[in-house]
Structure 1
Amino acid sequence: MNPMPAQQPTPDADREALEWFSMLRQPGCDELQRQAFATWQQQDPANARAYAELEAYWQQLTPPPARPRPRQLQTRRSYLGKTLAALFLLILAALAYLYWPLMQRLASELHTASGERRSVRLADGSTMHLDSASAMNADLRGRTRQLQLVQGQVSLEVVLDGRALEVQVGQARIQVYGTRLMIARSGQHDELVVLNGKAMIIQGGDQRLLSAGERVTFTEQRIDPVQKIDVQRVEAWRSGHLQVKDQPLASVLGRLAGYQGQRVWLMDEQTAYRRVSGDFNLDRAQASLDQLAAEQQLQLYSLFGQWLIAR
């Protein structure tokens, strides 16, 4: 971690404190993990300070125990208690909504942070390239190698070793017969792109067979028709570029904001459907957002570091 001013925890300390806060409250937390937590606190004063601030914030969210009141105030007390309970549940729901994707990633075997790209060599020799804020699970021990895409986007370079390979994406199964493919998850739909070889996607009673240079999008309800793709544009993210052609503005904003760990809220629903083309630098996501906002005559506002409001 990089040193920071004495009174201000680093972003890494804040993030790690949140991870420890969640882990220590899980039923399976054991003494070994608690010892590791104590060691982490002692490594850097910023770590202990970040965790103490998180604990203090949590205590503020917890409603105080009820105190005895005169009988004539029972009705008022009951109303106030229900209001506080509803507010507390609302705050918990908001925190869960904001931090659930992070918790989901941290619980996965392989994951990346927002803005991070990483390549991993698997035990069977295959290579997995993870995009920003992505998460995968892998089980390569059986006769059929099993992968699961939990979040984000991944590019696979598969080594054929005589065993079948399947990738689980939500309710869909992808059977891999080739050596290079990309799979992505987003709020609107999931996507499969075959770069070399073949792959079949199966969901319920529906299925599609894709060859090299083809893509398909799918949801829990349907598999869309197969389309041809520009391989160079599709793979551009691996070199830090987002190349889009005639894409919805909301999708492009969401991708760029996601590299900064933010979610987009467009004030004008019609604006979301504007079509956008261009080449944007993912490693300079804020500059790319500013460039896009200027081109589209938008104003961007950051809210609590979690939301990006566009109007």
Structure 2
Amino acid sequence: MPALQPTPDPEQEALDWFSRLRQPGCDEALRQAFASWCQDPLNARAYAQLEAYWQQLQVPAARPRPRVAKVRRNRAGLCLALLFLMLVAALAWLYWPLMQRLGSELHTDSGERRSVRLADGSTLHLDSASAMNVDLRGRTRQLHLVQGQVYLEVMLDGRAMEVQVDDTRIQVFGTRLQIARHADHDELVVLSGKAAVLQGGDQRLVNAGERVTFSESRINSVEKIDARLADAWRNGQLKARNLPLSEVLERLADYRGQRVWMMNEQAAYQRISGDFDLDHPAQSLERLAADQQLRLHNLLGHWLIVR
């Protein structure tokens, strides 16, 4: 009698295929054989049922967190980063003048006045919080006023001298002159001899007893001055004659290492006159505030808020 053929068992064969397909040695030939086996509808149904049962046994995937929380965290991180950058920028802007001074060859601290005799015999008198670089090696002696104010007593030795103030050049032909840097303009005062201010294609010749103000964009007209008042700061006095209130406040606050923030713009341009003690700037500021009906507020020791 012929041998009886075993009856196919689709569930058992599906289990075998399920195991073999997940082995590391599964190759393309095995997958093709599996595809041929699935041609029988009974086999395909058995394998589908096994696959569905296996999916039910799997541990459910972690529920994704709401995107709103992620967006909130991202916004909070962005805000913190912006605040940090703003703080760094504010500190850099606040301490930049001090960094400039410390990086200059000659400098003074707030409230300090200093006289320096150069190798060519010239003398520099530096006002409070001033900084300057000097190069006397070439045919033209080069000076660069970085900050503050300087009074020059120039020794004539046959060489020319130039003072650089940003992009403006001052050619010195005299023996005594004063250069100052303010918040919104710079200033040249000639006490003896002459000097020329050059900026691009524009220039002004300034004689003894005259002053001229200039900025990055223009040179203003030359004016007559009282030479006796110009260098009073060397003796610790600020003799203001018809000066803007903001400039006087700036000079007094500078001696305390502070920067002025004017809350009243109209008052900033008000012209005032008076004598102020630079060696006691706090008392001078209090007297000026009382005379002009101003309110002064110190902020972190670096700012003087004027209302």
- Identify whether the pair has TM-score above 0.5, normalized to the shorter chain: yes
User: 117, 127, 133: which one pairs with 1:131?
Assistant: 127
Identity across matched positions, percent? 67
Q: Does 1:266 align with 2:262?
A: yes
- The residue that corresponds to 1:251 in the other structure is 247
Mark the structure with the bigger radius of gyration. Answer: 2
State the shift of 1:71 in Å.
7.2
State the shift of 1:154 in Å.
0.2
Whole-angstrom CA distance in 2 between matches of 1:152 and 1:273 = 21
- The residue that corresponds to 1:147 in the other structure is 143
Whole-angstrom CA distance in 2 between matches of 1:102 and 1:143 = 32
Q: Does 1:235 align with 2:231?
A: yes
Whole-angstrom CA distance in 2 between matches of 1:208 and 1:273 = 25
AA aligned opposite 2:160: A
Whole-angstrom CA distance in 1 between matches of 2:294 and 2:199 = 39
Secondary structure class of the residue paired with 1:283: coil
The answer to whether the 8 Å contact 2:278/2:284 transfers is: yes
- The residue that corresponds to 2:201 in the other structure is 205
State the shift of 1:188 in Å.
1.1
- The residue that corresponds to 1:118 in the other structure is 114
AA aligned opposite 2:94: L
Please give the root-mean-square deviation of Cα atoms over the aligned residues, in Å.
Answer: 1.3
State the shift of 1:283 in Å.
0.3
Whole-angstrom CA distance in 1 between matches of 2:198 and 2:306 = 37
AA aligned opposite 1:84: L
- Point out where structure 2 has 5 or more consecutive residues left out of the alignment: 1-63
Secondary structure class of the residue paired with 1:245: strand
User: 290, 293, 298: which one pairs with 2:289?
Assistant: 293
User: 100, 104, 110: which one pairs with 1:108?
Assistant: 104
Task: Encode CA deviations 1:33-59: one digit per residue, 9 max, x unaligned.
Answer: xxxxxxxxxxxxxxxxxxxxxxxxxxx
Whole-angstrom CA distance in 1 between matches of 2:196 and 2:305 = 39
- TM-score, scaled relative to structure 2: 0.77
Whole-angstrom CA distance in 2 between matches of 1:199 and 1:280 = 29
Task: Encode CA deviations 1:244-278: one digit per residue, 9 max, x unaligned.
Answer: 11111111111101110111122222111222100
Aligned length: 243
Task: Encode CA deviations 1:66-102: one digit per residue, 9 max, x unaligned.
Answer: xxx9674322221111101100010011101110000
Secondary structure class of the residue paired with 2:273: strand
- TM-score, scaled relative to structure 1: 0.76
State the shift of 1:220 in Å.
1.0
Whole-angstrom CA distance in 2 between matches of 1:102 and 1:70 = 50
Whole-angstrom CA distance in 2 between matches of 1:185 and 1:253 = 14
Task: Encode CA deviations 1:101-146: one digit per residue, 9 max, x unaligned.
Answer: 0001100000001110000001111000000000000000111110
User: 156, 163, 180: which one pairs with 2:176?
Assistant: 180
Secondary structure class of the residue paired with 1:91: helix
AA aligned opposite 1:149: L
Secondary structure class of the residue paired with 1:202: strand
Whole-angstrom CA distance in 1 between matches of 2:228 and 2:81 = 53
- The residue that corresponds to 1:219 in the other structure is 215
AA aligned opposite 1:97: W
Whole-angstrom CA distance in 2 between matches of 1:273 and 1:198 = 30
The answer to whether the 8 Å contact 2:182/2:247 transfers is: no
- The residue that corresponds to 1:192 in the other structure is 188
Whole-angstrom CA distance in 2 between matches of 1:251 and 1:174 = 23
- Runs of 4+ in structure 1 displaced over 2 angstroms? 69-74
Secondary structure class of the residue paired with 2:82: helix
Q: Does 1:161 align with 2:150?
A: no
- The residue that corresponds to 2:14 in the other structure is none
Whole-angstrom CA distance in 2 between matches of 1:106 and 1:93 = 19
